[in-house]
Amino acid sequence: MAISDAKWAHYKEDIVSFVDDLVWIPSSSAQEVIKIKLEGEWSYQAEIIREITRKIPSGKFKYSTAAICIPKQNGKTFTASLIMAWRFITHFNVQGVVASNSKDQASSVVFDTFKSIIRYSPELLKKVGSENILDKEIRLPRTNSVVTVLSSSKAAAWGYGIDLAVVDEIHAAPDDEGIYNILASQAGPRNGQIILPSQVSSQLNILYHLYQVHQQKLDPSLYFLYIRGYNPSPLVTKRWLDSRKAQLTPAQYALYHDNDWVFSTRKLFDPGKIGKAVVNGENYQIPVKREELMDWEHQLGTKFAIGGGLDRALPYSKHGDDTFWSTVAKGKTRGEEYWVILNQQLMENSSEKLIKEAILTDHKRYRLQNVVLEVYQAADLFQWTVEQGIEAEIVHPVDKNQVSSFTRFHQIVDQEQLAIPEGLPAAYDSKNGRNGGRLPVLVKQMKEFEHEMDGAVPKFGHKPGTKYHDDAVYSLNWAIYALREKEVYEHTKKRRPQRQILGMNPYTGR
C-alpha cells in the first residue's frame, strides 16, 4: 500500500515516526534485514534525533550545529545517519555533504551507513531508485536532492550552500579547514545544519572549542550532547569494557570508552604495579647467570625465549640522554606468559665498543633469539650483530610500532607479569628512595613515564629538553618487543600409563 502524501507530511515533522515506520538495516551477520524501533533500551537515540531536528515557530531548525560526543560503540554514527536519511527523503532540494576526516580519501562510516539505510529500507529504496545510489553520491531527482561524500580537502573547497553536513569523527581530522568552510557555507537563506558525531578530541581541536562554547552558553543555535563515563547502548557490556580496559593503555581507554577530554599527559604505569614487579633478595641479581636461568627453567617447567633491546643516544647528548641495553627472558607457567629482566646496562658516552661487548656477552651467556635496535645510530650495529650470527631487526619508532609495543608493555606490568631485579643501574632519589636512596633508573623512569593522546594516536615518553628521561624504559620496551613472535612452551611431565584391570575372559581363561 502506497504511503499517502499526508503520511509523508507527518514524517517530515516527526523523525522518530519516520525511523520506526520506514527504516530497516542489515543485521550484524548480514544474513537478514531487521526493523528499527527506537524504544526501550534504544529510546536514548530517539531523544537525540528528536532534539536535534526540533524546529522553532518560523519552521527553521533550532540548532544549526549539533555535536554528538559520546563514547565509542554507542551509536553516534548511526544516529547521524538516521538524521541524514530523514532530511534527504522528506525535504525538498537538500544539498547534503558527508565530510571524511581524511584529506585524501572520500570514505565515511556515516555515508556507508546512510547508503545501507536507503538500500535495505523498501519504501526508501522505492522512493530513491537503485540507479541513483552511486559509489560516492546518492540522488533523489524528484526532489532535486543529493548527498555526496568528500575528503576533508575537497570539503574545504566546497562552494555550494549546504542544507545538511555531517563531519565524521572530527576528533581525528588532520586540521579544521574543512569544517570551518562548511560552517561558513551555512550563511544565507538555507536552513542548514551541521552534525558532528565524534568522541572527545584534544584541546586544540574545534570540537573542544565548541564544547567550551556550549558550557558557557554563548550560542543558542549549538546543540552539544556530551556523555562521559557512561555507555547508554545495551550492546556495550561490562564484560566487553573489562576486556577493552585490559587491552588498552589508560589514556586510550579514557579516550575511547570514558570519553574523557584529553587535557594532559598520563602516567603509563601504575606505581603500585611497578612496586609489585620489583623482586628483592640475593636470589635475583643481574646480570643473571646462565646456570641460574637453567635452574629457573627446570623449577618453573618452561623454556625461555631470550630477547634484547637497545636505545642508543647521540654521543655527548645535549639533553643528557643515555644509551641502555636490556635483555629479557619470556617464559610460560600454568598457561600464563611472564617476562624476567636478565640484564640492563648503561653505556657511558654511547660507546660502540661497550655496546658490542654487552650484546656479545649476553649472546654467549643466554643465546639471544632476537635483538631490536632502534633505528637512530643503529645501521652499523645491525650489520655487526648479523655478522655475529645474532638475529636482529631495526625498528623505526613510528606510531604503529610504539602503540603496539607500549600497549603490550603496559599490559605486562598491569597484569603483574614482569620481574624487575635488584642491581640495576641506579640513580639517587630522595623522595622515592630505596636501598639507601638509590633507586634503579628503570624503576624511576617507569614511574615518571608518560603518554598522551594526539588526536586518536597515543604518544609515548617525554618531549626533548624536559628534565625527565626514558631511555631505560625504551630499551626494555624494545627487548620485550623483540619476543613478540617468539612462542614459549611449558614442559609437560610424562605420565606413566595406568593399567586397566579387566575381568577374566571365561572363554580363554585370561
Residue that is written with C-alpha cell 643516544 in the block: 313
Residue ranges with strand state E in 211-355: 222-226, 266-267, 302-303, 305-311, 323-333, 336-347
CA 53 – CA 15 distance, rounded (Å)? 8
Average of per-residue pLDDT across 351-368? 94
> If pLDDT is split at 50, 70 and 90, which confidence band does 176 have?
low
> Where exactly are the structural domains of the chain?
5-236, 266-490
Q: What angle do CA 49, 54, 55 make, to 5 degrees?
A: 155
The neighbour count for residue 468, using CB atoms within 10 Å, is 12
Give the per-residue pLDDT at 83: 97
> If pLDDT is split at 50, 70 and 90, which confidence band does 451 have?
confident
Least confidently predicted of 44-58, 66-80, 208-222, 368-382: 368-382
CA 390 – CA 267 distance, rounded (Å)? 35
Phi, psi dihedral angles at 247 (to 5 degrees)? -90, -25
Least confidently predicted of 282-291, 441-450, 454-463: 454-463
- Provide the mean pLDDT of the chain: 83
Give the per-residue pLDDT at 99: 82
Phi, psi dihedral angles at 68 (to 5 degrees)? -110, 90
The yes-or-no verdict on residue 188 having pLDDT over 60 is no
The listed range with the strongest mean pLDDT (36-45, 126-135, 389-398, 463-472) is 126-135
The yes-or-no verdict on residue 507 having pLDDT over 90 is no
DSSP 391-442: -EEEE---HHHHHHHHHHHHHHHHTT-EEB-B---EEE-SSS--TTTEEEHH
CA 258 – CA 69 distance, rounded (Å)? 11
CA 267 – CA 250 distance, rounded (Å)? 8
CA 42 – CA 36 distance, rounded (Å)? 10
CA 409 – CA 326 distance, rounded (Å)? 14
pTM, 2 dp = 0.63
Q: Rounded to the nearest 10 degrees, what angle do helices 76-90 and 43-52 cross at?
A: 50
Residue that is written with C-alpha cell 598522551 in the block: 452
> If pLDDT is split at 50, 70 and 90, which confidence band does 172 have?
low
Architecture of domain 266-490: 2-Layer Sandwich (3.30)
pLDDT tens string 454-476: 655 667 876 555 556 889 999 99
Average of per-residue pLDDT across 329-340? 91
Least confidently predicted of 110-114, 149-153, 271-275, 342-346: 149-153
Under 8 Å between Cβ of 488 and 304: yes
Residue 498 cell numbers, joined:
595406568
Average of per-residue pLDDT across 351-373? 95
Percent of the chain with pLDDT over 90: 49
Q: In this structure, which amino acid lies at residue 193?
A: Q
Q: In this structure, which amino acid lies at residue 3?
A: I
Distance set, CA 206 to CA 169, 305, 312, 349, 378 (Å): 12, 48, 38, 45, 40
Average of per-residue pLDDT across 37-63? 93
DSSP 449-505: -EEEEETTEEEESPPTTSS---HHHHHHHHHHHTTTT---EE--PPPPPPPP-----
Average of per-residue pLDDT across 59-78? 93
Give the per-residue pLDDT at 285: 81
Q: What angle do CA 220, 225, 231 make, to 5 degrees?
A: 170
CA 409 – CA 403 distance, rounded (Å)? 10
Domain 5-236 has CATH 3.30.70.3290: no
The yes-or-no verdict on residue 316 having pLDDT over 70 is no
